[in-house]
Chains A and B, each alone.
Chain A
Amino acid sequence: MNRALTVARHDLVWLRRDPAPVITMLLTPALLMFFIKPLYVGALDRLGYRGVNGAELAVPGMTVMFSFFMAGLVTESVFREHGLNTWARLRVSPLRDTELMTGKVAPCLVLVMAQSCVLFLLGRVVMDLRVRGSLLALLAVMAALSACVVAFSFLLCAVARTRRQAFAYERVTTLVWVILGGTLVPTELMADWVGSLAGFTPVYWASHGYREVILDGEGVAGVLPHVGVLCGFTVLFVALAVWRFNGGADKQHWD
């Protein structure tokens, strides 16, 4: 585990010296949720919620979407090693594949949690977001979502052969999930067939978990199904990633 920590620390130094990707992942959703907040007032009214201001959907929606975009930090980190020729050096070291990948995804887990906390805090301070349910339940959804994102990033690293592929898979998958999962527009306001597909996306369970806490005032027990399904997705992604991962595969960073 010491070696995994060494890898994680090493990657954090990299992020500290080039913080632009992390800053972008904070600024962009912060700005977007500010601009789209008014649009959700009507939507919430149609869903039967009163005394709301739109932040109840805008903040969790942007948080979920940009959490999955954070997977790009892991794929970039892994494919960068190939581009710098250091992947071979890492594989000649006594580092196990599990230690290497744990070290690679660990900073992402921390960053997704931190990103979610910052966005919710901004929502509270700047957009008057009021959480009706338990804070612990909110953190439980946040933690389950972060684990799911990390597992997703591991899967991307396992299946993509080039950095561009990893980027394309991440963006396309996330956007499809976001649309189908009701992150941008609640599934109740979309066609019925969309609603029947929504449950097959992790973002649906994350978005609805947040809604249960923020709008319906649920506690930990109320979000257990959502947390459970997110954990299920996490296990599925990790299993697929382990199945497909080949540390010796020749991957490309630059083309």
Chain B
Amino acid sequence: MTPGPTPGPLPGPTPGLRIRGLVKSFGGRRVLDEVDLVVERGEVVSLLGPNGAGKTTLVSVVAGLLRPDAGSVSVLGTDVVRAPRAARGRIGLAAQDVAVYPTHTVEENLRFFGALAGLRRGELRTSVDTLLETLDLTPLRRRRARELSGGQQRRLHVGCALVHRPRLILLDEPTAGADPQTRRGLLRQVRALADDGGTVLYTTHYLQEVEELDARVVVLGDGRVREDAGVDQLIARYTRSELVLRFSGEAPELPWPGARVAGDTVFLPTDRPGVDLVKAVELTGQDRERLRAVELSRAGLEAAYLELLGAGRDE
């Protein structure tokens, strides 16, 4: 359970999660429309999408809380619809809203869910102790959940989903409202779970987390998988880094493909910042005297994501 080098996904005949042709409608509205997704063991897949894209519905169907209208979901080869009980023991769910018992202590909460999953005596004690340590909750083990801070409750919430050592971990915006320290701890825990061979499906609106997790990104839109790629691939596909040249006074027009001028600044798209930097400065010619600053604006996941969503709207 300790963080270590990222071994990456473990492709094999039985993926951690396989979704085929998943369809789910509510009141005639198709929330999930023929969704296909395979997540290998040891892989973190980050599920992105605007509100209402179907992320939580997808997680609920995978967890067995909602029955799909069509399609199949299998967890480590076990069909969630046909053999829900067999699949359930392998799934840990931390939904958006904190779900703990306020009148029970931290330890009692963890022990309860561990016992329900079939852990007994020594096995249960070891699992609870390990989680308390990992989630930095050991000093609070005898404190009632209602007395915890929001961040501590959220850690306990995630702990309750992990206490039975599930092989598929479904985390639906687990860091929503969490402080930076809690968020960092949870991300470290998620990465460790994947490194330990677990399969993680992680929904979030915090794109920085996705980059930190180095997760594979699956973007849902209108109930469909709109994009499925690594962070770097997504950035390369939808955005480019830019050289930003700032001048004293009005910025000159430069003969550069895709260049744009805004007041005293010129933005020059680039795939090779090091090479293009020299070239761009040379191109300024007589205006070089007025050149105040040159910066590199690196493309990020957020820009790529917004571009992708924008492209979706334009279609």
Contacts and interface: CB of A to CB of B under 8 A. Distances in A.
A94 B95 contact: no
Interface stretch (A13-21, A113-121, A188-196): A13-21
A85 interface: yes
Contacts of B99: 84-86, 88-89
A89 B103 contact: no
Contacts of B160: 89
Contacts, number: 68
A14 to B, nearest CB: 6
Nearest to B93: A92
A85 B97 contact: yes
A84 B101 contact: yes
B184 interface: no
Nearest to B90: A94
A51 interface: no
Interface stretch (B107-115, B195-203, B230-238, B285-293): B107-115
A91 interface: yes
A13 B104 contact: yes
B118 interface: yes
B116 A6 contact: yes
Contact of A18 (B63, B88, B103, B113): B103
Contacts of B108: 13
Interface in B105-141: 108, 112-113, 115-118
A91 B66 CA distance: 11
Interface string A76-116: 00000000111011111111100000000000000000000
Interface in A176-226: none
A33 B93 CA distance: 49
A86 B102 CA distance: 11
B100 A6 contact: no
A196 to B, nearest CB: 46
B102 to A, nearest CB: 7
Given A92-B63, A248-B67, A86 B115 contact: no
Interface in B173-219: none
B27 to A, nearest CB: 13
Contact of B88 (A13, A86, A93): A93
Given A84-B101, A88-B65, A92-B63, A10 B91 contact: no
A6 B103 contact: no
Secondary structure dominating the interface of A? helix
B101 A86 contact: yes
The 10 A-B pairs at the shortest CB distance, nearest first, are namely: A85-B99, A93-B116, A94-B89, A85-B97, A92-B93, A6-B115, A86-B99, A17-B103, A89-B99, A94-B88
A187 B189 CA distance: 67
Contacts of B116: 3, 6-7, 90, 93-95
A6 B113 CA distance: 9
Interface centre among A91, A92, A94, A248 (most CB of B within 10 A): A92
5 contacts: A14-B101, A89-B93, A90-B116, A91-B65, A94-B116
B66 A92 contact: no
Contacts of B95: 85, 88-89
A92 B91 contact: yes
Contact of A10 (B63, B67, B88, B112): B112
A94 B118 contact: yes
Nearest to A16: B103
B86 to A, nearest CB: 8
A178 to B, nearest CB: 32
A89 B113 CA distance: 9
A94 B98 CA distance: 20
B85 interface: yes
Interface string B252-294: 0000000000000000000000000000000000000000000
Contacts of A93: 88-89, 113, 116-117, 164
Contacts of A14: 101, 103-104
B283 to A, nearest CB: 59
A96 to B, nearest CB: 7
Nearest to B108: A13
Contacts of A86: 99-101
Contacts of B104: 10, 13-14
Interface centre among B64, B65, B85 (most CB of A within 10 A): B65
Nearest to B92: A92
A88 B56 CA distance: 13
A92 B65 contact: yes
Contacts of A17: 103
Contacts of B97: 85
